[in-house]
A and B are shown apart, each in its own frame.
Chain A
Amino acid sequence: MATLVSHPDEVRVISKRFGQGATDIDRYLQLDGYKAVQKALAMKPDDLINEVKNSGLRGRGGAGFSTGMKWSFVPKQSAKPKYVLCNGDESEPGTCKDRLIFEHDPHSIIEGVMIASLAVGAHTGYIYIRGEYRYLSVIMQKAIKDAYAKGFLGKNIFGSGCDLDVYWHGGAGAYEVGEESALMESLEGKRGIPRIRPPFPAVVGLWGGPTVINNAETLAAVPHIILGGADWYAKLGTPKNGGTRLFCLAGHLNKPGVYELPMGYNLKKMIYEVGGGIPGGRDLKAVVPGGSSTPVLLPSEIDVAMDFDSVGKTGSMLGSGGVVVLDDTTCIVKFALRTMKFYRHESCGWCIPCREGTDWLEKTLTRFHAGGGLKKDIDNIYYLAENMLGKTFCPLGDAAAMPTMAFVKKFRQEFEAHLDGRPCPFEKAGAAVMV
């Protein structure tokens, strides 16, 4: 459904089966499918964990935590069943990558869940897909059914004596559920409200059992690592940032699309070469490097390697791979407002700093953008955001606060240009304020 694009700089690992008909299990098998899990069955769990650790694979959902490390936190012995949960609740604005994996290569995700299960000693895996992605749920349900029919799932998989079940699960519209603890609540049939940590899901997760939760793209990378080896995968990227990732190029670009590039690919090149530059030859104003919750970068900051550590050094985050490009016709106040409107809508309301903070910030930014701003509002916006940071059960409060603080810090002049009852300088005369 979504259009595929390509660029010569791409290194296709996760996307190598895109457009190849790999939703069909026989086609997937022709394309090296289910080889990795068979190799994994012959390996010791600790060797699997070490292989993934050494590959430098880090969580593609946004936090960038070492996947192998996460797996190693699961206790070896557990009175309660252990679980692997694939997070396919992709909802971070700017991000549309997992969608393509589910659409073109669903078996790679199943295989990733299987290998993760073998590594941590789980016998049940769940693949959670957001409710809006119904067509992908149809694809996934069929893929799982086909895998059972071949004997790859269920009792005694591949004649190994090991039992392993993988099930599909669906959401019904909630960004918050993409947060790991809220995801578990949702899977348990409840409102998606986060849980306090510790205990972490690796120790107390689904129905109280130890649970590994990984992003769909992370799990899709695992079979390639097992087949190609940790060294090969690690060398595709930069030190401590192994492999490739799917970057979703969006916003003011001539060639938006999802491209698979090595970790550490230069952001400037990504915008001007891969993404084809900005339409009409207009100037770049800002870039949101990794989904709406990551602090905005200025044009002077984009000569940066897109890996977790390098982007971290700029004060922003690599996040979920959603690169949103803003040209010089964009009003930053309006952009900040739309971002906050989203977080206000999605805040589950459990933690007061987030529930109240996002609401007051949206109200203040709405008034401010409409020309009713006061000078003290600018500091107040920053202050409100700052006071949400680190004060909530889950990172949604941080996700709303961090970009807001960056907008104020980096574009104060533009906020000031909205002052004194003047309408937004970017709105055409007489145009309605659209929020």
Chain B
Amino acid sequence: MKFSDEFETRFAEMLGHYPTKRSALVPTLLYAQDEAGALTDEVIAELAGRLDLTELEVRNVISYYSMLTTKRRGKYNVQVCTNIACMLRGGEELLDHCKRRLGVGHKGTTQDGLFSLEEVECIGACSWAPAAQVNYDFHENLTAAKMDDVLDEYKKKSTQ
């Protein structure tokens, strides 16, 4: 299992921050997932070994956190918020628009593996609603047309 140098530096530093190794688990899982695309069996075994945990203990933690996944998502994970503040300003319609445009439903991935779609809970963009995150990037004050532009941008980025 090979992670980036940046990952390894951060991981080594983090271990020094806590009295127990296990404490580094949650953020480390997210960084590992970002690099490996998903928390595969191999990643789980690797991190369990490094943190003196059983694979089961690691899986128990993974299943709790909504951002963590054992299944690969699209290259760009489109997360549309439909919680109250976004709902009042068209979040549900935006999600519907994304479903039609990408041809997939909640937690679906396009056939080319480029996009996956997720309806998510509040992402902390309530005053700039409706909002979505594509991977970690925030896109706010969206309309269907603006969402199209956002998706076009990512599509273009993937061919560059």
A→B interface (CB under 8 Å)? 1-3, 81, 90-96, 98-99, 126, 130-135, 165, 167, 169-175, 186-192, 207, 248-252, 256-258, 288, 292, 322, 324-326, 330, 335, 338-339, 342, 345-346, 348, 434
- Interface size class for chain B? 35 or more
Report whether A1 and B138 are in contact in the complex, using a CB–CB cutoff of 8 Å.
yes
B87 within 8 A of A: yes
A residues near B123, Cβ cutoff 8 Å: 132
15 sampled A-B residue pairs with Cβ under 8 A: A3-B140, A93-B85, A94-B85, A131-B65, A135-B136, A135-B138, A169-B26, A169-B27, A175-B122, A207-B20, A256-B127, A324-B85, A342-B83, A342-B84, A346-B121
Check B116 for interface membership: any CB of A closer than 8 A: no
A434 touches which one: B25, B92, B127 (CB < 8 A)? B92
For residue B144, CB closer than 8 A to chain A, the reply is no
A91 to B123, CA, bound (A): 7
Which single member of A94, A173, A174, A342 contacts B126 (CB below 8 Å)?
A: A94
Rounded to whole Å, the gap between the CB of B86 and the closest CB of chain A is: 9
1/0 per position for B6-36, CB-CB distance to A under 8 A? 0000000010010110111111011000000
Q: How distant is A261 from chain B, measured CB to nearest CB, in Å?
A: 14
Q: Closest approach, in angstroms, between the C-beta of A373 and any C-beta of chain B?
A: 20
B60 CB–A CB distance under 8 Å: yes
Most-contacted residue by chain A among B85, B88, B128 (CB, 10 A): B85
Q: Judging by beta carbons under 8 Å apart, are A189 and B121 in contact? A: no
Closest B residue, CB atoms, query A435 = B92
Chain A residues whose C-beta falls within 8 Å of the C-beta of B125 in the assembled complex: 2, 96, 99
- Taking the complex as formed, is B102 at the interface, i.e. its CB lies under 8 A from any CB of chain A? no
A399 to B22, CA, bound (A): 30
Residues of B within 8 A of A126 (CB): 17
A2: which of B60, B66, B138 is its contact (CB, 8 Å)? B138
Do A94 and B84 contact each other (CB < 8 Å), given the known contacts A2-B140, A172-B67, A189-B22? Answer: yes
Is B61 in contact with A190, judged by CB distance below 8 angstroms? yes
**Cβ of B129 under 8 Å from chain A:** yes
B45 at the interface (CB under 8 A from A): no
In the complex, what residues of B have CB within 8 A of residue A170's CB? 26-27, 30
User: Which 10 A-B residue pairs are closest in the complex by CB-CB distance?
Assistant: A173-B67, A189-B25, A173-B66, A189-B22, A170-B27, A172-B65, A134-B136, A250-B126, A191-B64, A250-B85
